[in-house]
Each structure stands twice: as C-alpha cells, then as structure tokens.
Structure 1
Amino acid sequence: MTPITTFFRNLESKCCAACGQTMVEQAESYMTECFACQEKATHDAYLYYHTKK
C-alpha cells in the first residue's frame, strides 16, 4: 500500500477547467476553476442579472 504522503506528492498539478492555467490549490480541493476565472464568471453573472429587462 502506498503511503498517503507519497500519493499526494505524486499527483499531477491541477489545471483550471476554463483557461488551463496551473492552480496552486491543494490537490484534494474541489475547485475546478482558478480564482481569476471564478471572478470573471461572477462578474459576468452580476452584469447579466442587473442588465436584464
């Protein structure tokens, strides 16, 4: 059985699902998008919601 520290040390870097940039979050994090892409999506959603008529 592989020690847990070896398992996490050998995981590949996480990449953002939107832009492909390498993420620095922990490997076990559930995030799939980097902070910049999350911020852009939030901003776009805000603008869409507040400009609807």
Structure 2
Amino acid sequence: MTPIATFFRNLEAKCCTVCGQAMTEQAESYMTECFDCQEKIAKDAYLRHYNKR
C-alpha cells in the first residue's frame, strides 16, 4: 500500500478548466477554476444579474 504522502506528492499538477493554467492549491481541493477565472466568472454573473433590472 502506498503511503498517503507519497500518493499526493505524485499527483499531476491540477489545471484550470477555463484557461488551462496550473493551479497551486491542494490537489484534493474541489476547485476546478483558478482564482483569476473564478473572479471573472463571478463578475460576469454579477453584471448579468444587475443588467436585467
């Protein structure tokens, strides 16, 4: 059985699903977008919501 530290150390770099940039947070994180893309997505959603009014 592989030690847990070895398992996580050998995981491939996690990449953003939007821009493809390598992400630096922990591999077991549920994030799929980098912080820059998350910020852009949130801003776009905010603008779409408030432009409907």
Q: TM-score range by the shorter chain?
A: over 0.9
Q: Which residue of 2 aligns with 1:39?
A: 39
* Unaligned stretches of 5+ residues in structure 2: none
The whole-number CA distance in structure 2 between the counterparts of 1:27 and 1:41 is 22
RMSD: 0.7
Q: Which residue of 2 aligns with 1:52?
A: 52
TM-score (norm 1): 0.96
* Unaligned stretches of 5+ residues in structure 1: none
**Seq. identity, %:** 72
Which stretches of structure 1, 4 residues or longer, exceed 4 Å deviation after superposition? Answer: none
Cα distance per residue 1:32-52 (max 9 Å; x no partner): 000000000000001000111
The whole-number CA distance in structure 1 between the counterparts of 2:50 and 2:7 is 46
The whole-number CA distance in structure 1 between the counterparts of 2:41 and 2:35 is 10
Q: How many residues align?
A: 53
